[in-house]
A and B are shown apart, each in its own frame.
Chain A
């Protein structure tokens, strides 16, 4: 492979930077933490540098090694990929800063964490940039394995059971996906998405591939009723890992579902859009109700993720009639959820360290004792329940507008109901943060970094509700959702 070409294009940086970081952190264990922080900061810089280029020149395609499709490995970036890369880098930096403070007392865990975490970022970024479905399989597999390993680093029975279940699910999902890839390759002789988009037809092979790939990805995204593995895995991991899993990892497989839907399957899917929407609606209601009855904070937050993932799937039926509005809304929800949910899990980590437990009823006046963390939780909650001003509100507004413009009341009511339920479970936690517990406990100090990072992420989720037009414009670069208008034709 010609390394000169690789280095020249900024497009490869989001993959190479964390990859090199992962290798270095693995080799030089004593310096794992600074290496990790440095790589993630460099990653954020590299992604931000891409934005003006993308705005000026439109979507970019890079044939790695100069081979080009259908033989070689192609990278492709448009507004959608950049938005996801930005989300990953920003949230990733927050999680890294947090992890550096969090693992200071337990260097062994930190040394296990950094290489895996950087590898996870590598896989995620490669996933957002790959343009062929086999490459995507590879990224999915690395993503899944590094995520499973990260879940297990805290040790203990809970974490191991959760990680084991996660591993099986992840492998099963990848396997289903790989079968779909094989079918498509057999039928159309290519794995490049753009070429497949030209060749694909409504026929049994395509349908079967769609079913297998979608099912595999839905399992990895934890769409109801395939969500069963998520709460134990997300709730038992260490706080920075939980944050990464809920905020970023599930978005990876969701991103692929959207891409494939827009490029390949949307035209041939028939009623599947409605089915996906219905599962999403069920996820919103079921996840929220489950979150409401939890007595442990981390489980509550994990079920909230199940519910919020449900929102993302409402785009499939709604986009049929309103296109960009529904997609933008969902993308906005995905991004603000990443910020808010990461903040929430980090706060849960703070509370866990502070009180040694995460029983909601025994939070014991944390609002006074850890005010910054509780402020972060509440602000993140504002975005999760979709109250203005917050990124969550913008997303829900767009979804609601798209539902009501089409007169589709069922979806609108689910969107509203999910918000009300979210408010109920968020304020269940906030309410107990004010009261005194009957089981007082010894409090441990929480490093200031851990509090401030959570707070900053939560504030970012709220600010997304005030700075709206720039992200929306970014999403549309390269017309990732294939909206047909005279202007947008490629």
Chain B
């Protein structure tokens, strides 16, 4: 085995090992725990950087062990995997810093950071899984590792939210298992292959393949929060803010969306999926989710719930980009995996800052908050404009490519959806921005904590600023090598046959 084969395993271990060590740490060992966390996050980032360079230069990173005769568990870092890997390892580092600041002085932190690390381990496993079975393994591990984070506060509300979360994800996972075993009995392989591995099957199997597609997409759609499988996401908002950030931007929702990308491109293949006739229904479902999520977001007064419904809506851009089945739209969908992550994590960090610093949980309490916390709200504003799709923030790039792709594929109705969604995004973000910047602040905030001359703790302020800056840079320098956009193009070239 070459040295390269060990890198994917090391990437897994860089969060698994610190996570397990942290479980064993006493609550009071704050400094050691912080060091372990940061060392793990930095190591992972460095390893992913090495692989990024390697993959761009044609190296392969793969490790496999035999599971059952003829069926392997394998990790492989290809271009698509790296898109997700870079995103999750970058955001893990930022979220870890944020979480350390956010949870300062709160109980059960060893447990929290332990599961936090397991969560990221599962996410990078999902990213690097080289076949459906390995994917399922890490996908289920992700479900289990996030559960303790959702119920972390130990209240009755949290317990209920946890039960709902599990009911959806375990149910979805069961359907996926059924689909995967069925697929295996038909094809005898589960290995992800560019342009898919099922198109060779006899056409008498096509009805079965359509059903398998439905099973897999349903199982993945739960985590990606496609309607009508989205209800767990707003409920899971009882979790602490770093968890919400993790759920929405890095781990759970993204794993679902990423899985859909894998299934469409590397199990079924785009052309074959279109031949089966499953792409249009998927596109319509995604479009419906985009509109429905935005509509619901408008009427939420709870800030985190509004953001949650916004996630429901935004993640479906990825699915929409995939389902339009044109190379340009694919670029838009893939790049949104990164863009949505950067923007949404910024928004959740800011929401967490408002709650921690001023006790603000509701949109109606946000009047004039821009004067009290200008930096936080500046980051929030940038991310919100990105969500609406205003240039030069990254969200604009996404919508541009999705629109172009839709025209390219002759699906003009998508433009209407994109326009409507932008309007709706504006309808639920602009009032917040208006209230925050232009209304008079109240005499007292609900629950203010004093941080001296700074508006809030340093560990809480820097992460949203960094991610907001990254969202702007990803938009401004979209044409540079190694930008998310260029990488998405690199992937799209492999997933489509050249005409």
Main secondary structure of the interface of B (DSSP, over half): helix
Which residue of the partner chain B has the closest CB to A430?
B147
Please give, as numbers and ranges, the residues of chain B lying within 8 Å of A472 by CB-CB distance. 68-69
Residues of the A chain whose Cβ atoms lie less than 8 Å from the Cβ of B133:
388
B140 near A400 (CB under 8 angstroms)?
no
CB contacts (< 8 Å) of B178 on chain A: these are 400, 412, 416
With contacts A365-B154, A382-B144, A468-B67 taken as known, whether A434 is within 8 angstroms of B159 at the C-beta atoms is yes
**What are the residues of chain B within 8 A of A420 when measuring CB–CB?**
170-171, 174
B278 interface residue per 8 A CB criterion: no
Selected contact of A468 from candidates B68, B151, B184, CB within 8 Å: B68
A334 at the interface (CB under 8 A from B): no
Contact residues of A between 415 and 472, Cβ < 8 Å to B: 416-417, 419-420, 423-424, 427-428, 430-432, 434-436, 466, 468-469, 472
Contact between B140 and A435, CB atoms less than 8 A apart: no
The reply to whether A387 and B181 contact each other, CB–CB distance below 8 Å, is no
Smallest CB–CB gap between B268 and chain A, Å? 19
Given the interface pairs A400-B181, A434-B154, A436-B154, the reply to whether A469 lies near B174 with Cβ below 8 Å is no
In Å, the complex CA distance between A472 and B185 comes to 19
A435-B66 Cα distance, complex, nearest whole Å? 41
B27 to chain A minimum Cβ distance, whole angstroms, is: 10
Is B345's beta carbon under 8 Å from chain A? no
Residue of B111, B156, B158, B167 touching A368 (CB-CB under 8 A): B111
> Which listed residue, B141, B147, B181, B185, touches A427 by the CB 8 Å rule?
B147
The complex places the Cα of A365 from the Cα of B151 at a distance, in Å, of 12
**Complex Cα spacing A451 to B156, Å:** 27
| Cα-based distance from A135 to B174 in the complex (angstroms) | 44
Cβ of B162 within 8 Å of any chain A Cβ, yes or no, is yes
A245 shortest CB reach to chain B, Å:
28
Convert B132-157 into 0s and 1s, putting 1 for each residue whose CB lies closer than 8 angstroms to a CB of A. 01001100110010011001101110
| Chain B residues whose C-beta falls within 8 Å of the C-beta of A427 in the assembled complex | 147, 162-163, 166
Enumerate chain A residues within 8 angstroms of B66, measured Cβ to Cβ: 468-469
Q: Is the CB of B166 within 8 A of A371?
A: no
A404 at the interface (CB under 8 A from B): yes
Q: How far is it, in angstroms, between the C-alpha of A416 and the C-alpha of B176 when the chains are bound?
A: 10
Contact assessment for A423 and B68 in the assembled complex, using a CB-CB cutoff below 8 Å = no
**B108 interface contact, C-beta 8 A:** yes
- Contact: B174 with A416, CB < 8 Å? yes
Identify the interface centre among A404, A435, A472: most chain B CB within 10 Å of its CB.
A435
Cβ contact within 8 Å between A435 and B159: yes
Chain B residues with CB under 8 A of A388: 133, 136-137, 140-141
Interface pair B137/A400, CB less than 8 Å apart: no
> Given that A387-B140, A401-B184 are known contacts, is A423 also in contact with B170, CB under 8 Å in the complex?
yes
- Given the known interface contacts A368-B111, A405-B185, A427-B166, the answer about A400 and B177 at a Cβ–Cβ threshold of 8 Å is yes
Tell whether, in the assembled complex, residue A435 and residue B68 are in contact, meaning their CB atoms are under 8 Å apart.
no
Tell me, yes or no, whether B173 is within 8 Å of chain A by CB: yes
Contact call B151/A431, Cβ cutoff below 8 A: yes
B182 contacts A by Cβ under 8 Å: yes
Q: Which residues of B contact A371 (CB under 8 A)?
A: 23, 111
Q: Counting CB contacts under 8 A, is A389 at the interface?
A: yes
Given A368-B111, A416-B177, A431-B151, verify A404-B68 contact (CB < 8 Å): no
Contact with B along A383-403 (1 / 0, CB 8 A): 001011100001001101100
CB nearest to B136 among chain A residues: A388
B159 to chain A: which residues have CB within 8 Å?
Answer: 431-432, 434-435
Cβ of B180 to closest chain A Cβ, rounded Å: 9
Name B151's closest neighbour in chain A (CB-CB). Answer: A434
* Chain A hits for B171, CB < 8 A: 420
Shortest Cβ gap from A53 to chain B (Å): 24
Q: How far is the CB of B171 from chain A (nearest CB, A)?
A: 6
Residue of A nearest to B163 (CB): A431
CB-based contact A434/B158 at 8 Å: yes
Rounded to whole Å, the gap between the CB of A226 and the closest CB of chain B is 29
Q: Is the CB of B162 within 8 A of A431?
A: yes
Contact yes or no, A435 B182, CB < 8 A: no
Residues of B within 8 A of A400 (CB): 177-178, 181
Q: Which residues of B are found within 8 Å of A367, using beta-carbon distances?
A: 111, 148
**Minimal beta-carbon separation of B131 from chain A (angstroms):** 12
A371 to B152, CA, bound (A): 14
Interfacial chain B residues near A424, Cβ < 8 Å: 166-167, 170
Known: A427-B147, A427-B163. A419 touches B181 (CB 8 A): no
Which residues of chain B are within 8 angstroms of A394 by Cβ–Cβ distance?
68
20 intermolecular pairs with C-beta atoms under 8 Å apart = A368-B107, A368-B111, A371-B23, A371-B111, A388-B141, A400-B178, A400-B181, A405-B185, A419-B177, A423-B170, A424-B167, A427-B162, A427-B163, A430-B147, A434-B158, A434-B162, A435-B154, A436-B154, A469-B66, A469-B68
